[in-house]
Structure 1
Amino acid sequence: MALTLPAHPDPLAERIHTSGLLQELAHGLGGGFHYLLPERFDTNLAAFRTALTEAGVDGRVFFAKKANKAAAFVERCAHAGAGVDVASHGELREALGHGVRGEDLVVTGPAKAETLLRVAALQGALIAVDSLDELDRVLHLDTPHPVRVLLRRLPPTQPGSRFGLDDDRLDTALLRCASAGERVRMEGFSFHLSGYEVQPRADLAGELVELCLKARVLGLRADRISIGGGFAVDYVPAGAWETFLAEQGPDDYHARKTFTASDFYPYHSPVAGADALRAILAARPGGAGDPLARRLRQAGVMLLLEPGRALLADAGSTVFTVQGVKDRAGYGILTVDGTSLSLSEQWFNSEYLPEPLLIARSPGRDAEEYRACVGGASCLDSDLLTWRKISFPARPLPGDLLVYPNTAGYQMDSNESPFHELPLPPKVVIDHPAGSPRPRWHLDR
């Protein structure tokens, strides 16, 4: 029996899929496309803000723009007064161009280009400084006002990370900020932590609160910390995920490709999104003493968050048209009008596991299960969107649509390329006004 891993049911997406709109878009756009649901972004942002309010914590949410290039989501940030996390001059320019104020930007990433530092400083953005060399470059910027900075901490539990300052360099950075006078406004600390575990984030956040108190002794402002992102998204039900991890093997994949459980994103998470933030705030740093939320309040420290994927949960999907079907022994190979570059999990030599939905071009065909993997339109043998043999309810035919669910977070465009001169899948913004018989759409700007 084939393993199945369907995404959680989504009534809004199901209404769109049965409205006939996707078929019209596929015909009109002449190829694969992504659709976006900005109202879901609004809902996710509100949930994070509610979690902060419930805990009595002063905090701000910054959308990690790298998770999706669409203008629609940055525009929602501007409308809602949320911040945006950028890591390049291009991202900074796009955020400003779509209405986000400079003081609502936080600039992250490793050694930043001179242009990025200069424009960020002039716009009043908050710059997460990653090294002493970068701090020196910041201190030599010619700006009419102090440059706002955070000092990024190297996580002691992840000493192999390339991000952040260790203890000695952090002490040196604090002294340089203290002696810089009005050239810099050192507002606090940040960290980049891999993984999705709650306790390590609470532990390191607690350490950063103590660092703020230490920095204030030197006369520095130090009134905020950023714990970055790393808020998981729950894509699939627990039972299906556990069964999949326990039973998946080479026979489930084209060419008997092998994966281990550690190769996959954790597509099921019992604590995800804003609930993960609640868990972090309720955790006790170091496993003892007051919860993190109380420590933040007592120290007068603001909490900054930089979620990307979690703000984009259920906020978009990817649609391809089936171009052809070939049979192999016991399964088939579909070819669609796109490539695996539009499902960026392949970048990590992994697989996007929530199963694509088949929308038949014409209803009423015989419903006989058909197992198939999904290949891209390029000439590369490794260009498979889905190596796994998916059990479709019927044999797909040319003209049918495949909808990959919940791809807005990192999947759509992180790795996109017009290889073979194939067009990049456009992004379509969809909403469904109350009282309207069907959804409406426009192309993302």
Structure 2
Amino acid sequence: MALTLPARPDPLTLPAHPDPLADGLHASGLLHELAHGLDSPFHYLLPERFDANLAAFRAALADTGVDGHVYYAKKANKASVFVERCAEAGAGVDVASLGELRDALGHGVRGEDLVVTGPAKSGHLLRVAVRQGSLIAVDAPDELRRLLDLGAGRPARVLLRRHPPNQPRSRFGLDDAQLGRALRDCADAGDLVRMEGFSFHLSGYDTRPRTDLAGELVELCLKARTLGLPADRISIGGGFAVDYVDAAAWESFLAEQRPGHYHADKAFGTGDFYPYHSPVAGADALRAVLAGSPGGTGPALAERLRQAGVTLLLEPGRALLDRAGSSVFRVQGVKDRAGYGIVTVDGTSLSLSEQWFNSEYLPEPRLLPAPGAGTAGSPYPACVGGASCLDSDLLTWRKVPFPARPRVGDLLVYPNTAGYQMDSNESPFHELPLPPKVVVDRPGDGSRYRWRLDR
């Protein structure tokens, strides 16, 4: 009896939002020149987009009359150019290691414009942070004790990080009892510490939990002031979503995707994916946080901040990098399989971090044919593999419907990868070079694009 195989579903498409700036760069021919000159995959960066995103967050604060300060979460991308833009704009930087702190200082960010986050900070990091006048988010009782014992010659500027009640499994922050003791310790420490307020770290992207917990931190500031502590600021961290794709395309993708859409019938649950469409994203998400009423009653958060004289700090990473860069790979080979192909590129999935979290980077790559090759051909569904000996090294498991069969020398451009995708898990596996980062500037006189290596 013949075995009947299940019908293969039609390929699913999920393109990123249209991006005229990126389209102009792709049409200029510069990416092919860079691929030839660098002889490796590379990432291109568009710092003007970072500038615009930073300005949008600042406008959200100004429009609501909230005194605030934006810190760029450096962990989202290791490139120096974004830190340099912070220094030029007077923005802050959120760092979580001694290396990140040194890099920010070395690119012109003042010590007092740094906030040091992360758990169980080393003694060396704490010492340098205090001496530089950086703000330190204290995550545990022993961390506060080590700060008080440092004797670094100036008061330690601290925020006490609150353990989120609605995320009881979070490993971050001080619970109620620990927070009470920490407040008393700060009050008793005199000039050794300047307790400037509170912070929290929340997983997820919902705005309501941020509004609610921020309202609680405002009340904690008022309580701390009765102990003689300054307590005039709160940090709500990051977690501002990025909107990568169209709503209808995203809903259709989630409803239709199944193992047959992927190489080797790999199965993904819809909960495995980043929410690539978000109806409220970036600076608009901040506006939603400020417009909400903590606990669902009373004045909006913005009004409570103004009434209490509390400054709002925020630490966006991905949202400041929205459309600020993409990743470029060169096609090295194409293998035909039954009903689809396997494209192999000159890099690995270690340069697209989502694949290493049992997930998939879903905004699909754009095919840029080699100069003079043209785009003639019929649609060709294909997954994208890396140039390694690992069977699981797939940049894209999904069978993407390319407009034509890719050819050796063509480029695949993965859009909008600056936020966390480019370098979170990069590795020179097989001694392949790490993709360099190329900063692309568009001169105001309309002449050709200019580029430089980031480091």
TM-score normalised over the length of structure 1: 0.99
Rounded to whole Å, the distance in 2 between the matches of 1:173 and 1:51 is: 33
Change (3 A) 1:365 1:100: closer
Give the letter for the 1:256 counterpart: D
Structure 2 residue 351 is the aligned partner of structure 1 residue 310:
no
Structure 2 residue 250 is the aligned partner of structure 1 residue 244:
no
**4+ residue segments displaced more than 6 Å:** none
Q: Residues 8-407 of structure 1: matches in 2 within 5 Å?
A: 8-361=17-370, 362-407=372-417
Aligned position for 1:443: 453
Structure 2 residue 423 is the aligned partner of structure 1 residue 409:
no
Rounded to whole Å, the distance in 2 between the matches of 1:367 and 1:248 is: 26
TM-score normalised over the length of structure 2: 0.97
Rounded to whole Å, the distance in 2 between the matches of 1:29 and 1:225 is: 45
Q: 2:436 aligns with which of 416, 426, 430?
A: 426
Which consecutive residues of structure 1, in runs of 5 or more, have no partner in the other structure?
Answer: none
Give the letter for the 2:79 counterpart: A
CA drift of 1:143 comes to: 1.7
Q: Percent identity?
A: 76
Q: Please list the CA deviations of residues 4-41 of structure 1 after superposition, one character each: whole Å capped at 9, or x if unmatched.
A: 10000000000000000000000000010000000000
Give the match's secondary structure for 2:102: helix
Give the match's secondary structure for 1:368: coil
CA drift of 1:436 comes to: 3.0
Which consecutive residues of structure 2, in runs of 5 or more, have no partner in the other structure?
Answer: 1-9
Rounded to whole Å, the distance in 2 between the matches of 1:260 and 1:438 is: 44
Give the match's secondary structure for 1:230: coil
Instruction: Report how many residues are paired.
Output: 445
Give the match's secondary structure for 2:444: coil
Contact 2:382 2:400 in 1 (8 A): yes
Rounded to whole Å, the distance in 1 between the matches of 2:236 and 2:444 is: 38
Q: Please list the CA deviations of residues 73-128 of structure 1 after superposition, one character each: whole Å capped at 9, or x if unmatched.
A: 00000000000000000000000000000000000000001111110111000000
Give the letter for the 2:177 counterpart: D
Rounded to whole Å, the distance in 1 between the matches of 2:206 and 2:376 is: 46
Rounded to whole Å, the distance in 2 between the matches of 1:349 and 1:103 is: 38
Rounded to whole Å, the distance in 2 between the matches of 1:113 and 1:338 is: 35
CA drift of 1:365 comes to: 4.7
Contact 2:204 2:239 in 1 (8 A): yes
Instruction: Provide the alpha-carbon RMSD of the alignment.
Output: 0.6
Rounded to whole Å, the distance in 2 between the matches of 1:424 and 1:396 is: 24
